[in-house]
Structure 1
């Protein structure tokens, strides 16, 4: 097994020379989207490539230790790309620790750009050291230890900490849902309703629908006028990929204006490091390994799963959880609600397959397709909440 797996995305495109960059850029420019999807450009001199950079969509590209012209970095960042320095020291802890907070991951964001905050530096480090085979055993061990301790901290919060008396509802949905849209406002209202009903919100911790649900939890105690003001403020920086710095600062401004004691969980990953973690989740379990992150998020959503419109990642979560429910018996089956009848029947027809899979199983009575947040919550509330397994008593 490669020492790179699973720390480097399997479909990442590693570019280590100007010849490779020029070839791949030429291929991208003749395609329909001109997209540098998954590019990891390492130590390439791009000082004479401003025209090419301007022509590409680099919203999922990472440039590590590259050389640019005076305008090169601004060109890359304007299209959503990240320009980073890999650094020599580990920018994260490998020992026992608690979960992250937004303030820790975004430390310095008021005076620096997103590229300079801890979250971005950790992402750059993970990509550079895995791809370049530099100090590979050390890097792999460090990220494994980190994920182990974050997993332990998450379980501790669920069983003994802030969520010990609160059923957790997982809210899944796409990262591309921008602030300022009707869909974003509806997802925020869903998170608000779930929290006010006595549940805790858990999301994948990223932008879009995930941020909206965590924001709804944060704003659960505010009224319609305050919610409208918060949504208007957030809409000033709607795009997490192309406006990372402004996007983060705007969230902090909303949090400062509308303080909250409500708790919610975000479980993001540096595997999708081009998607910044949202700042409304109060407890953040961020992992290097996406498979661990996906499994633990679904496992801890013992109150149910609400799925908003999304794309491939959201569909994966639907059927990853459906597989668990398919083989579970009795009370171990967790309810799942898909929100958006037309979307899940026609745009991405996951519902017919989910129905077919559930037929004559226990899970058949615990899945639903609805159109509104109110319907989704009502269905969840009609089900008995799964009790968490009792943790073994600690030795005195």
Structure 2
């Protein structure tokens, strides 16, 4: 997700979004809502202000849940906002978006430029649903023109919840810190079983290969993760392979869930049946 909010690329004239409010020029504030939330307050003023801030946070979750509840099967695509339109990664992301839409998935991104725009573009050009989850940033980024369902968030944590809750998997393109953040959050949720399975495909062997090598050697060797954990990530250069992996893994997970549900129902029925004399 992706995002990626990690890269400060401004789309001049697109405007600065603060919740539902559009600001430009000198109206753009010096601090984001996230910055104000995380600032160490002096004195006890926070006792009076933070409880009210909770109401705003709650509203972001309510609005996000309401807007995305009927999206249907979806996949989140993350990657850099800095990727230019003439880059190979942009072309790959367009193909990822198109193939996901053709496979029946809505495409969810961070709604910004670069990889996000490319994936949204591919989804729209294939006639699919293109979703953008924007974020308030200290520079103008704006929602890209290929988003046909967009939501702007003040808080990163509310936005990140939407990326996970309404997606059946992630396709992660090359990106920076924001992309890393989203990737490892999703990976942690799968590893700790906070979500029941979640296919994660990385596109770009030259970009992600070194990271996976480090995980498989240094991280595994020091016992920080299990030997099986790196297998939670599927690495490829081919957008079609990435989409096929997500789709096939989803089908397998759904079958496993269905089988587990039916087994539980049979066990409950057997337990509830009267015993023979």
TM-score by length of 1: 0.50
User: Which of 347, 352, 359 is matched with 2:227 structurally?
Assistant: 359
- Which residue does 1:322 correspond to in 2? 187
Q: Distance in 1 between matches of 2:146 and 2:77?
A: 14
Change (3 A) 1:200 1:300: same
Q: Distance in 2 between matches of 1:350 and 1:187?
A: 21
Which deviations, in whole Å up to 9, do the C-alpha atoms of 1:145-196 show, x marking residues without a partner? 444223212222333x3x1xx2110101011101232321221121111111
Shift of 1:127: 4.1
Q: Output aligned runs, 1:225-304, within 5 Å.
A: 262-271=128-137, 273-301=139-167, 303-304=168-169
Paired residues of 1:194 and 1:201 also in contact (CA < 8 A):
yes
Change (3 A) 1:169 1:272: farther
Change (3 A) 1:288 1:359: same
Change (3 A) 1:315 1:384: same
TM-score by length of 2: 0.69
Paired residues of 1:271 and 1:289 also in contact (CA < 8 A):
no
Q: Distance in 2 between matches of 1:358 and 1:282?
A: 41
- Which residue does 1:205 correspond to in 2? 111
Which deviations, in whole Å up to 9, do the C-alpha atoms of 1:80-117 show, x marking residues without a partner? 6989xx9xxxx967xxxxxx7xxx85xxxxxxxx826x
Q: Output aligned runs, 1:123-138, within 5 Å.
A: 124=29, 127=32, 130=36
Q: Distance in 1 between matches of 2:144 and 2:212?
A: 27
Change (3 A) 1:286 1:342: same
What is the DSSP-based 3-state SS (H/G/I as helix, E as strand, rest coil) of the residue aligned with 1:267?
strand
Change (3 A) 1:171 1:377: same
Paired residues of 1:305 and 1:336 also in contact (CA < 8 A):
yes
1:115 aligns with 2:24: yes
Which deviations, in whole Å up to 9, do the C-alpha atoms of 1:317-353 show, x marking residues without a partner? 1111111111118x8010100001111113xx24642
Q: Distance in 2 between matches of 1:201 and 1:82?
A: 25
1:157 aligns with 2:67: yes
Number of equivalences: 232
What is the DSSP-based 3-state SS (H/G/I as helix, E as strand, rest coil) of the residue aligned with 2:250?
coil
Shift of 1:125: 7.4
What is the DSSP-based 3-state SS (H/G/I as helix, E as strand, rest coil) of the residue aligned with 2:152?
coil
Shift of 1:279: 2.9
Point out where structure 1 has 5 or more consecutive residues left out of the alignment. Answer: 1-37, 39-58, 61-79, 94-99, 106-113, 222-261, 389-396
- Which residue does 2:267 correspond to in 1? none
- Which residue does 2:275 correspond to in 1? none
- Which structure has the higher relative contact order (CA within 8 Å, separation 6+)? 2
Q: Output aligned runs, 1:1-396, within 5 Å.
A: 115=24, 121=27, 124=29, 127=32, 130=36, 144-159=54-69, 161=70, 163=71, 166-221=72-127, 262-271=128-137, 273-301=139-167, 303-328=168-193, 332-346=196-210, 349-350=211-212, 352-353=214-215, 356=220, 357=225, 359-360=227-228, 364=231, 366-384=232-250
- RMSD after superposition: 3.8
Change (3 A) 1:378 1:273: same
Paired residues of 1:143 and 1:288 also in contact (CA < 8 A):
no
Paired residues of 2:89 and 2:174 also in contact (CA < 8 A):
no
Paired residues of 2:199 and 2:250 also in contact (CA < 8 A):
no
Q: Distance in 1 between matches of 2:239 and 2:12?
A: 35
Change (3 A) 1:373 1:210: same
Paired residues of 2:112 and 2:141 also in contact (CA < 8 A):
yes
Paired residues of 1:151 and 1:285 also in contact (CA < 8 A):
no
